[in-house]
Structure 1
Amino acid sequence: MSAIQLAARPRHPSSLRRRFFATPSQAVLSLASLALLAWIVFKVLDWAIFSAVFTGEGGPAACRGADGACWSVIANRWRIIMFGLYPYEEQWRSALACVVVVVMIVLSCLPSFWTGKRIAAVWLIGIGLFYWLMKGGMFGLRHVGEEAWGGLALTLFIFVSTCVIGFPLAICLALLRRSQLPWISHGTGLIIDAVRSLPLISILFAFAVVVPFMLPNWLQGDKLYRVICGSALFFAAYQAEIVRGGLQGVARGQEEAAMALGIGYWHRVSHILLPQAMRNALPATINQFVISFKETSLVIVVGFFEILASGNAAYGTGEWTFAYVEVYAFIALIYFVFVFSLSHYGAFLERRMAIGTR
């Protein structure tokens, strides 16, 4: 057992008393803090549960005179929050598409699927099903253009597409920046630093509005895909530095030994350097994924109805304008579920890889 673990262990059963009630003044402060915390918890529970209105019947009138939260807005407007502008009669497709993405992510997190063929099959099938369900136009499904996509499905699509495009691009940029040719390494470094020096909002705005003026009509594509490319470029610029930091943590002697054995560059990178670099960069990589998921809300500035914009529309009508806190609390819960799960999965990966290195 390490010295840190020994120091962290309580030395005797009265450690709690000694820590918080060692002196009369410390005991008073501890009791006052505990009482304040209990009062805050009670007030939140009273507002959110005990005095809240949950029924969806009666509309806004059901919340008049209530002392707690008006969850009726969620019961009445949840379709707008979850599906945005997607046609009402086709919203089952958007819901099923969200399920497909979640299942795809869960399967990708299972160690039994950590092979090139399996992970590629999961992502190709998952993305294909998602795109078919959302857009339709084949096998009897009505065509729904990207301008009508919204809600949680659009948020997940932007996040997944950003990571799928940005992560391989980040690895390429990191390897190019380590090139022995100065014009390649310096040019790549200039691109990375230029992208990282700009806020994501300006990049999204440029790809959505400015880029079409610079490209011919046949190369412009839909605005959604241009925005995804801009988000992926921003993700790749930050992730490239994370990967490069992980590569710098790999002992130089390992690459030199591989070169002495005559192992080719791509085999050195794929079998020796990158596996160790990704282990070193895992905490920062998980953090970057978390940030990217939360940054999907920024696409509202270029006119997309992701889940936050759909929430704004849900309470934006005259009858529900008073219930904005409840709407934002519901959206925050959705973000919390995804981000909390991703963070805990990252902790699981750290423990698993630490065990593998013993």
Structure 2
Amino acid sequence: MAQSYLRHRGRSPFFHPWYNAVITAGLSFFLIYLAVRLWQWAVSGAVMLPGQAGECMQAAGACWSILQEKWRLILFGFYPQAELWRAVAVLVIVTIAAGFSSVPRFWSRRLPALWMLVVVTVLLLLSGGILGLPYVSPDQWSGLPLTVVLSLGAIIIALPLGILLALARQSEIIPLRAAAVALIELVRGIPLVTALFVASVVLPLFLPAEISIPKIIRALFCIAVFLAAYVAEAVRAGLQWVPGGQREAAAALGFRYWRMQQLIILPQALRVSLPGLINAFLDFLQATSLVVIIGLFDLLGTTRAAIADTTWQAFYLEAYLGVAAIYFVLCFSISKYSGWLETYLQRSLKR
């Protein structure tokens, strides 16, 4: 019996029984065929950089020349060309700040102050109007900088707001708990696109004529409130995971509520909530493309504007694939870092 068991365990599930072998062979040939056709379309039969639209029309494969021709419009949209260095500087500053924030040795109480400085610098660079920088209207902020501003701003606002909502939902104060539940369920029960439309079209009708809130600010707070509702649910799951005995022990030691949350409860809850938080951040990073319905052009919106040129309109697929690559790099980097962070936090607890 032992020999029969070992013989069975030694058989590959890809080739035993016989129908598994047939399925494996069929899928292998199909994947090889797809890989060959993809190579022919994307590489061997494609027009690489540089190239012209007329040359692309005669090619059998992809036309990557559209990325060379329209990269400025796709990445930076309608931001003034003479001031593009400011948009590039914003991307560089955010990247460097994110890099510092991802290294545990730089985690300290100074980190929030660093990000406040980053936010102020980003806003000053993009808007201008001071220090000799020409003023650029928020309506001209577009492309990748707009996607970064909306995503980063939404996370900065939503994370503390979501934590407060999660704590309020578990509060023993009934009116506070009811208000938190009502807000979370209301936000999660309506589409984001509807809220953006209301914030853009309906809200200005109820404001005095002398008050004008830029569309980007309305969109940012709308996305942030929606993200905060999902953050609250992720954090609430983490709070429920923390054993109640730890709260009782902390109270017996004389810890006040906020001190207990800061030092004992929230560090554990946030560690458990990390996968859900990262998933929510990635979802809303991609959801920023919905702002196009209120007249803002994020990275996907500027891509649509780029392919509106009839000369290059036939090569819309290549443009979308280029933008998809940017989104993939952003999302994949965040995903891989979150996996590393989970492992790092688990090792820190075992020390």
* Range that drifts further, 104-113 or 227-236: 104-113
CA distance in 1, matches of 2:332, 2:163: 26
Q: Which residue of structure 2 aligns with residue 249 of structure 1?
A: 241
* Range that drifts further, 43-52 or 26-35: 26-35
For residues 152-193 of structure 1, the C-alpha deviation after alignment (integer angstroms, 9 at most, x for no partner) is: 000000000000011111111111112111111112111111
Q: Which residue of structure 1 aligns with residue 342 of structure 2?
A: 350
The partner residue of 2:284 within 262, 280, 292 is: 292
Moved beyond 6 Å, runs of 4+: 11-16
Shift of 1:219: 5.0
Q: Letter of the aligned partner of 1:69 in structure 2? A: A
Q: Which residue of structure 2 aligns with residue 30 of structure 1?
A: 24
Shift of 1:16: 8.2
* Range that drifts further, 131-140 or 238-247: 131-140
Find out whether 1:107 has 2:77 as its counterpart: no
Q: Which residue of structure 2 aligns with residue 5 of structure 1?
A: none
SS of the residue corresponding to residue 104 of structure 1 reads: helix
Find out whether 1:187 has 2:186 as its counterpart: no
Q: Which residue of structure 2 aligns with residue 7 of structure 1?
A: none
SS of the residue corresponding to residue 20 of structure 1 reads: coil
Question: What TM-score, normalized by structure 2, do the two folds share?
Answer: 0.94
The partner residue of 2:84 within 72, 87, 91 is: 91
Q: Which residue of structure 1 aligns with residue 313 of structure 2?
A: 321
Contact in 2 for aligned 1:108/1:122 (Cα 8 Å):
no
CA distance in 1, matches of 2:210, 2:265: 40
Contact in 2 for aligned 1:54/1:75 (Cα 8 Å):
no
Shift of 1:17: 5.7
1:105-184 to 2 correspondence within 5 Å?
105-117=98-110, 119-184=111-176
Q: Letter of the aligned partner of 1:70 in structure 2? A: C
Find out whether 1:47 has 2:41 as its counterpart: yes
Q: Letter of the aligned partner of 1:42 in structure 2? A: V
The percent of aligned pairs where both chains have the same amino acid is 37
CA distance in 2, matches of 1:329, 1:318: 19
Compared with structure 1, are the counterparts of its residues 13 and 330 closer, same or farther at alpha carbon in structure 2 (3 Å cutoff)? Answer: farther
SS of the residue corresponding to residue 180 of structure 1 reads: coil
Q: Which residue of structure 2 aligns with residue 6 of structure 1?
A: none
For residues 127-165 of structure 1, the C-alpha deviation after alignment (integer angstroms, 9 at most, x for no partner) is: 222222211122222111101110000000000000001
| Structure 1 stretches lacking a partner, 5+ long | 1-10
Compared with structure 1, are the counterparts of its residues 219 and 165 closer, same or farther at alpha carbon in structure 2 (3 Å cutoff)? Answer: farther
CA distance in 1, matches of 2:6, 2:299: 51
* Range that drifts further, 185-194 or 129-138: 129-138
Compared with structure 1, are the counterparts of its residues 235 and 316 closer, same or farther at alpha carbon in structure 2 (3 Å cutoff)? Answer: same
Shift of 1:218: 5.4
Q: Aligned pairs, how many? A: 346
CA distance in 2, matches of 1:129, 1:62: 44
The partner residue of 1:228 within 220, 233, 242 is: 220
Compared with structure 1, are the counterparts of its residues 228 and 333 closer, same or farther at alpha carbon in structure 2 (3 Å cutoff)? Answer: same
Q: Which residue of structure 2 aligns with residue 60 of structure 1?
A: 53
CA distance in 2, matches of 1:141, 1:270: 42
Question: What TM-score, normalized by structure 1, do the two folds share?
Answer: 0.92
Shift of 1:12: 8.6
CA distance in 1, matches of 2:307, 2:7: 53
SS of the residue corresponding to residue 137 of structure 1 reads: coil
CA distance in 2, matches of 1:235, 1:24: 50
Compared with structure 1, are the counterparts of its residues 152 and 30 closer, same or farther at alpha carbon in structure 2 (3 Å cutoff)? Answer: same
CA distance in 1, matches of 2:313, 2:9: 51
Contact in 2 for aligned 1:55/1:71 (Cα 8 Å):
yes
For residues 234-256 of structure 1, the C-alpha deviation after alignment (integer angstroms, 9 at most, x for no partner) is: 00011111111111110000001
Shift of 1:288: 0.8
Compared with structure 1, are the counterparts of its residues 13 and 147 closer, same or farther at alpha carbon in structure 2 (3 Å cutoff)? Answer: farther
* Range that drifts further, 271-280 or 97-106: 97-106
SS of the residue corresponding to residue 93 of structure 2 reads: helix
Compared with structure 1, are the counterparts of its residues 320 and 129 closer, same or farther at alpha carbon in structure 2 (3 Å cutoff)? Answer: same
RMSD: 1.8
CA distance in 1, matches of 2:6, 2:47: 48
The partner residue of 1:21 within 7, 15, 27 is: 15
CA distance in 2, matches of 1:157, 1:62: 37
For residues 274-322 of structure 1, the C-alpha deviation after alignment (integer angstroms, 9 at most, x for no partner) is: 0011011111111111111111111111110111010001111111110
Shift of 1:20: 1.5
